[in-house]
Amino acid sequence: MRRLALVAAALAAGAVLIAGCSATPPSSTGDNTATGSATLTIGIADDLPGVSLKTDAGYAGFDVDTANYVAGKLGVPTKNITWQRIDQDERVSSLTSGKVDLVVSTFSITAEREKEIAFAGPYFEAHQDLLIRRNDDTITGPETLDGKKVCAAAGTTSIDYLTSHYEGKITVVKVPSWSECVRDLAAGTVDAVSTDDLILAGFAAVPEYKGVLRVIGKGFTDEMYGIGLKKGDNRADQVRAALKEYISSGAWKKSLDANIAPSGYAIPAPPTVK
């Protein structure tokens, strides 16, 4: 009973830590300077430090900056954007149902997803990696995961990779969000979290986890992030053009330098938007 109480306390504390990680808040590029009355509803995550995080001042991070820039080029002022929090496994259905107009949420472009929705991009290339407790010397890469409990969010390419490559060798723990995975790792109920290195670096850099958790640093997949749209959306070409300008203008690098580089993550060269 005492162990269960301790784990519950750790999980509750972890929730506070993530909610309060605005001690090192992500940076926002602010207003996109567009004018007019056009509106957009954009699906995002709200619990990814440096990438897409809800703070006291609103939403901020690299994905949020990306969405805000694109919205501006579509003629939608920042104040007219409705930010819709969605879980990882809701990204496709949120588009097909019309719940959101765009999804900007570390959304990897895959052939399977392109059967149901459209993508514009890529605007970033990440690599699946592992987050572990700093003092764990038994995990040195994906080849040392046998017998381990590995957490991943439902509806992601990360969990697809784990189940297809390590079935029967590891226990895959599926939860709705990455912040829940990280809380479980810190509490000791799972052995590792596996997703994109960009996401993991953000969590590892949160003050409460710095020195507690670490990223292995051996990426083993290529994840090309795109902006999701409903099939047939006639704004797709405009979104692609906006992403090209986002990169060429220097705004892409500025956002990454402000939100991601402080974690120690090495900012890669931008991909070619197709």
Residue pLDDT, tens place only, 181-205:
999 999 999 999 999 999 999 999 9
59 band by pLDDT with thresholds 50, 70 and 90: very high
Band of residue 23 on the pLDDT scale cut at 50, 70, 90: very low
3-state secondary structure the chain: CHHHHHHHHHHHHHHHHHHCHHHCCCCCCCCCCCCCCCCEEEEECCEECCCEEEECCEEECHHHHHHHHHHHHCCCCHHHEEEEECCHHHHHHHHHCCCCCEECCCCECCCCHHHCEEEEEEEEEECEEEEEECCCCCCCCHHHCCCCEEEEECCCHHHHHHHHHCCCCCEEEEECCHHHHHHHHHHCCCCEEEEEHHHHHHHHHCCCCECCEEECCCCCCCEEEEEEEECCCCCHHHHHHHHHHHHHCCHHHHHHHHHCHHHCCCCCCCCCCC
Question: Quick one: pLDDT band at residue 6, thresholds 50, 70, 90?
Answer: very low
Residue-level pLDDT at 30 = 80
The total of other beta-carbon atoms located within 10 Å of residue 249's CB is 11
Cα-based torsion angle of the residue sequence 133, 266, 259, 10 in order, rounded to the nearest 10 degrees:
0
Q: Say what percent of the chain tops pLDDT 90.
A: 84
**In this model, does residue 150 exceed pLDDT 60?**
yes
Residue 26 has pLDDT above 90, yes or no: no
* Strand 149-153, strand 171-175: pairing: parallel
Report the distance separating Cα 274 and Cα 258, nearest Å: 26
| Percent of residues, the chain, with pLDDT higher than 70 | 89
Instruction: Give pLDDT tens digits for 66-119.
Output: 999 999 999 999 999 999 999 999 999 999 999 999 999 999 999 999 999 999
Residue 155, pLDDT above cutoff 60: yes
What order do you get walking across the sheet with 102-103 strand by strand? Answer: 81-85, 40-44, 102-103, 223-230, 117-126
State the average pLDDT for the chain. Answer: 90
Q: Is the pLDDT confidence value at 2 over 80?
A: no
Give the tens place of pLDDT for each residue, 245-263.
Answer: 999 999 999 999 999 998 8
